Amino acid sequence: MTEIRTPRLLLRRWHDDDLVPMADINADPRVMRWIDDGSVRDLDHTAEAIERWEEEWDEEGFGLFAVELLASGELIGFTGLSVPEFLPEVMPAVAISWRLGSQYWGQGYASEAAHATLEFALQDRGLDRVVAIDRVGDNASENVIRKLGMELERETAHPVHGYPLRVHAIDLTEFQA
């Protein structure tokens, strides 16, 4: 079982009891505003997503971690690594991403989890480069990306929805663990 502990968080594989809290996060329009077409997701969509995330762990050796608060054990969202197949122009690539419930924003959790995930990519999985793809205007994600030391590599557009995207990258040999 792959787990990472940070001072305040536990990053781990998914459990059955994560479905309802993750579905609640996915049902929040503020959370989903910057994701795909901005629509919220229901319980069934969330169950399918968690199943895909677990399959990616099995196939790739990495994936999206469930993120829980160490102090309370409550699920606050996810962070992790995935293959960004939706954006063929950056392939082959591994992307870091995160999604936290809005009540957990502004407390440094996304940065803490993402930093631990980059360490995992470098030290445990031997990756030499990771990208982050964010939607132009998503200033909160931009701030996390900047804190990770990632550099803007290109601007492009979402191939389905057409909105502007930024692709950032970091060479993990230069990552400050």
- Which residues have CB under 8 Å from 133's CB, separation 6+? 84, 87, 90, 95, 97, 165, 166, 167, 168
What residues are paired with 110 via a beta bridge? none
How confident is the model over 72-121, as pLDDT tens digits? Answer: 999 999 999 999 999 999 999 999 999 999 999 999 999 999 999 999 99
Q: Are 72 and 20 in contact (CB under 8 A)?
A: no
How confident is the model over 46-75, as pLDDT tens digits? Answer: 999 999 999 999 999 999 999 999 999 999
The pTM of the full predicted model, rounded to 2 decimals, is 0.93
User: Rounded CA gap, 116 and 96, in Å?
Assistant: 11
Q: Are 81 and 117 in contact (CB under 8 A)?
A: yes
DSSP string, 69-138: ETTT--EEEEEEEE--TT-GGG-S--EEEEEE-GGGTTSSHHHHHHHHHHHIIIIIT--SEEEEEEETT-
